[in-house]
């Protein structure tokens, strides 16, 4: 369970309306890449307009205007270089704002110079001062638009008073010797300046109010996006928990995986799952993530912990300052770990409470109602998984008890049966005296019956051993080609005696298969023995080892025998079951062969398919893996050689020995 890690970040990301502007979309961060190239167009545009105005008869100070136009690209180059250098480091938002402020101030200086050389307060360029006010309102938070409006107003009024004081003289707008505006010191100039100032501040007011609305909507959108992202994470994690529950069948592994997955969702928080013990007076921790053993090995006595009693009555308990809550039995241990916030939900199945699912954090008041609802939903899934796992383990215990009983009975019968067969063998061989034909016939009939019983006992022992998942199987590498050679030498003579054509082949280059002992060999022997037994003389049995997919080998046993009625194929893996036509074909047979094959294939985490019908022969396919999977791998085979199949299901409910 490990030591307590740092616990403190919020379950869901903070969605405060006071979010710093650095976290907002890019209009408040890096400068849009299209704005810098536009600066390079200003100088050519300015030169073009000056040349056109001069050619139309306007009297301009071309030298001054061209000097400003020439200086502008130099400044633009410096600004562009500064932005590119800032790209190399993180956290450049403040630096960007400084660059933008410098850029606007220099632009204002250039604008006032151009206004000075193109008519002063009556210059046609004065309305362009509003553009920077609008830009400031968009790019900067707070009252930046008013600051820029103030700069523009002070600048244009300063230019006016400088002219009135005689410090400077703005160049008037003259066309072919005619002055196109009133004297700069008259009433008209004051009215124009007041109108311009009012317009600038109205623009600042409008853009400021508009951007307040835009910013609030952006913050709301960001909050919604964060909430949706967190919801998506939670749904994805719930899906993963459902997958874990569907894949695992044993309680301890389910709870460990759920605790691990849930800890990943809440982020830097601890998770613990407690189960009510028999008697309902105590609660013990069955799984935990991020909590030390000193905590998880504790037993909670419900009489001493009203906090947990509330949860076991069906409430979801949320506490943001556990140090102030004296109803929690382990308050002292929690304080030692620095834990402040706890959220517990009941593990409820119908009207029964199985235990608690809890998350723990060091941050005060970390969890909220939305977290409680999510934990309640998770707890419902976990509770159902606990109930299913307990039921499965009870069934497994019954199956194991049945298997032990079967093995014990079969073992106890084996010794006296072996002695009886040995005695009958001596009698039929004449070692105990000669018997007349009638006695010999009776003895041989008894011997045949006892041999059938011995075969059944062998089958029971074989199935019992294959079901003993508690006994670790010794892994060996099995070469399919070697198994093919063994089948050919072992069953070739038997097939000849039955008048059945027998062929065995294995593809070249097949990988070896990870198997337990001789399980693959016994699977193949059972299938081939059945194929020969239920194929009449003149028929054919074919065995093939072939590659199904990378890392997989398929054993295919095909015969032209009596087949299996489709209505009876669902019972093929039942012990002692024999198809109706099989009983008519021969009295010999125990009905245990395919049951063993199913158990052995399940032990390999493989898949077993049968394609057959009455009178049409049978094809059995066994898919095995080069490396036996720890967890089951889904597989389907809708047809084999163009024939519909019956999937002899393997539940994989039982763990492999490695997982125990």
Query: Are residues 518 and 449 part of one domain?
Result: no
Cα separation of 542 and 502, whole Å?
A: 6
Reduced to 3 states, what is the DSSP secondary structure of residue 304? helix
pLDDT grade for 464, boundaries at 50, 70 and 90: low
Mean per-residue pLDDT, 269-293: 85
- Contact at 8 Å (CB) between 486 and 599? no
- The number of distinct structural domains making up the chain is 3
Query: Are residues 571 and 519 part of one domain?
Result: yes
Query: Are residues 332 and 205 part of one domain?
Result: no
Query: Are residues 491 and 452 part of one domain?
Result: no
- Longest CA–CA separation in the chain, Å: 156
Query: Are residues 303 and 155 part of one domain?
Result: no
Cα-based torsion angle of the residue sequence 128, 133, 135, 137 in order, rounded to the nearest 10 degrees: -160
Which of 225, 259, 292 is a domain's end point? 225
Instruction: Write the CB contacts of 124 (distance below 8 Å, at least 6 apart in sequence).
Output: 118, 173
* Rounded alpha-carbon distances, angstroms, from residue 481 to 253, 311, 323, 601: 38, 62, 70, 19
- Contact at 8 Å (CB) between 480 and 506? yes
Query: Are residues 166 and 140 part of one domain?
Result: yes
Instruction: Write the CB contacts of 611 (distance below 8 Å, at least 6 apart in sequence).
Output: 618, 619, 620, 621, 639, 640, 641, 643, 644, 645, 646
pLDDT in tens, 520-537: 888 888 889 889 988 999
Query: Are residues 412 and 513 part of one domain?
Result: no
Query: Are residues 488 and 403 part of one domain?
Result: no
Tokens 């536009």 identify what position? 38
pLDDT in tens, 343-368: 889 999 888 889 999 888 888 888 88
Cα separation of 491 and 497, whole Å?
A: 10
The two structure tokens encoding residue 595: 């049951």
Within a domain: residue 238? no
| CATH number of the domain encompassing residue 633 | 3.30.565.10
| CATH number of the domain encompassing residue 377 | 3.30.450.40
Among residues 602, 642, 638, 641, the alpha carbon closest in space to that of 622 is found at 602
Cα-based torsion angle of the residue sequence 421, 422, 423, 428 in order, rounded to the nearest 10 degrees: 80
Burial of 399 (0-12, 13-18, 19+ CB in 10 A): middle
pLDDT number for residue 500 = 92
> ∠ at Cα 340 (336, 344), nearest 5°?
110
pLDDT in tens, 153-167: 998 898 888 888 888
Within a domain: residue 6? no
Within a domain: residue 628? yes
Within a domain: residue 14? no
- Contact at 8 Å (CB) between 27 and 139? yes
Q: Are strands 607-612 and 552-559 parallel, antiparallel or unpaired?
A: unpaired
Burial of 445 (0-12, 13-18, 19+ CB in 10 A): exposed
**Total number of residues shown for the chain:** 660
Q: Which residues pair with 610 in a beta bridge?
A: 620, 646
Between 453 and 606, whose confidence is greater?
606
The two structure tokens encoding residue 11: 């379950």
Within a domain: residue 547? yes
Tokens 């036996």 identify what position? 628
pLDDT in tens, 546-588: 988 788 899 999 999 888 887 777 777 666 666 665 656 565 5
Identify how many contiguous H helices and E strands the chain contains and give both numbers: 16, 19
Query: Are residues 485 and 438 part of one domain?
Result: no
Reduced to 3 states, what is the DSSP secondary structure of residue 348? strand
Cα separation of 520 and 515, whole Å?
A: 6
pLDDT tops 50 at residue 395: yes
Query: Are residues 254 and 203 part of one domain?
Result: no
Query: Are residues 149 and 56 part of one domain?
Result: yes
Which of 467, 483, 509 is a domain's end point? 467
Within a domain: residue 105? yes
Which of 410, 434, 467 is a domain's end point? 467
Query: Are residues 481 and 447 part of one domain?
Result: no
Most confident of 33-37, 131-135, 401-405: 131-135
Q: Where are the alpha helices (DSSP H) in 429-518?
A: 437-467, 480-497
Among residues 58, 299, 76, the alpha carbon closest in space to that of 179 is found at 58
pLDDT tops 60 at residue 16: no
Q: Where are the alpha helices (DSSP H) in 291-347?
A: 293-296, 306-312, 331-336
pLDDT number for residue 659 = 39
Q: Are strands 646-647 and 317-319 parallel, antiparallel or unpaired?
A: unpaired
Residue 352, domain extent: 248-467
* Rounded alpha-carbon distances, angstroms, from residue 233 to 35, 229, 236, 262, 602: 37, 6, 5, 11, 35
The 10 Å CB-count burial string (b at 16+, else e) for 85-107 is ebeeeeebbeebbebbbebbebb
Within a domain: residue 181? yes
Cα separation of 2 and 38, whole Å?
A: 59
pLDDT grade for 29, boundaries at 50, 70 and 90: very low
pLDDT in tens, 374-384: 888 888 888 88
Within a domain: residue 235? no
């Amino acid at each position: 369970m490990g030591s307590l890690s740092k616990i403190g970040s919020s379950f869901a990301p903070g969605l405060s309306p006071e979010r710093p502007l650095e976290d907002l979309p890019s209009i408040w961060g890096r400068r849009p890449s299209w704005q810098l190239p536009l600066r390079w167009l200003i100088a050519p545009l300015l030169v073009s307009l000056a040349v056109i105005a001069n050619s139309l008869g306007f009297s301009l100070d071309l030298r001054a205007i061209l000097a400003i136009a020439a200086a502008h690209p130099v400044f633009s180059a410096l600004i562009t270089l500064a932005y590119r250098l800032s790209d190399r480091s993180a956290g450049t938002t403040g630096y960007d704002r400084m660059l933008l402020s410098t850029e606007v101030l220099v632009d204002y200086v250039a604008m006032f110079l151009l206004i000075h050389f193109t008519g002063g307060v009556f210059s046609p360029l004065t309305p362009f001062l509003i553009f920077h006010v609008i830009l400031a309102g968009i790019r900067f938070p707070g009252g930046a638009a008013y600051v820029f409006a103030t700069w523009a107003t002070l600048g244009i009024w300063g230019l006016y008073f400088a002219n009135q004081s005689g410090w400077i003289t703005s160049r008037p707008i003259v066309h072919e010797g005619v002055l196109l505006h009133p004297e700069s010191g008259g009433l008209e100039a004051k009215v124009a300046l007041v109108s311009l100032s009012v317009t600038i501040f109205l623009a600042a007011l409008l853009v400021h109010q508009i951007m307040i609305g835009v910013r609030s909507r952006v913050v709301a959108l960001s909050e919604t996006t964060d909430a949706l992202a967190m919801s998506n994470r939670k749904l994805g994690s719930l899906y993963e928990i459902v997958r874990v529950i569907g894949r695992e069948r044993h309680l301890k592994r389910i709870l460990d995986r759920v605790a691990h997955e849930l800890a990943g969702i809440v982020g830097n928080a601890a998770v613990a799952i407690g189960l009510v013990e028999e008697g309902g007076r105590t609660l013990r921790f069955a799984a935990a993530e991020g909590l030390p053993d000193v905590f998880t090995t504790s037993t909670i006595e419900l009489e001493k912990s009203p906090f947990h009693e509330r949860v076991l009555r069906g409430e979801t308990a949320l506490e943001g300052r556990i140090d102030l809550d004296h109803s929690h039995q382990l308050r002292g241990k929690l304080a030692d770990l620095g834990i402040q916030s706890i959220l517990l939900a009941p593990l409820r199945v119908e009207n029964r409470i199985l235990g608690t699912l809890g998350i723990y954090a060091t941050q005060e008041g970390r969890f909220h109602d939305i977290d409680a609802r999510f934990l309640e939903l998770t707890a419902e899934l976990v509770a159902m998984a606990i109930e299913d796992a307990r039921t499965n383990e009870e069934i497994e215990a019954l199956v194991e008890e049945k298997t032990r009983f079967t093995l014990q009975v079969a073992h106890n019968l084996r010794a006296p049966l072996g002695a009886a067969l040995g005695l009958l063998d001596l009698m039929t061989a004449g070692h105990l005296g000669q018997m007349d034909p009638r006695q010999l016939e009776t003895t041989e009939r008894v011997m045949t019956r006892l041999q059938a019983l011995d075969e059944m006992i062998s089958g029971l022992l074989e199935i019992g051993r294959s079901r003993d998942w508690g006994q670790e199987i010794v892994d060996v590498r099995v070469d399919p080609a070697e198994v093919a050679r063994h089948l050919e030498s072992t069953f070739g003579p038997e097939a000849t005696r039955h008048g059945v054509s027998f062929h065995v082949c294995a593809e070249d280059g097949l990988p070896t298969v990870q198997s337990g002992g001789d399980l693959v060999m016994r699977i193949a022997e059972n299938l081939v023995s059945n194929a020969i037994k239920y194929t009449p003389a003149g028929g054919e049995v074919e065995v093939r080892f072939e590659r199904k997919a990378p890392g997989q080998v398929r054993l295919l046993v095909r015969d032209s025998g009596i087949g299996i009625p489709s209505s009876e194929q669902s019972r093929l893996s039942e012990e002692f079951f024999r198809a109706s036509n099989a009983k008519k074909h021969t009295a010999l047979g125990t009905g245990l062969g395919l049951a063993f094959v199913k158990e052995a294939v399940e032990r390999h985490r493989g898949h077993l398919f049968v394609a057959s019908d009455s009178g049409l022969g049978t094809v059995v396919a066994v898919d095995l893996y080069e490396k036996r999977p720890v967890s089951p791998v889904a597989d389907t085979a809708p047809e084999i050689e163009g024939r519909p199949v019956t999937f002899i299901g393997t539940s994989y409910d039982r763990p492999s020995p490695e997982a125990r």
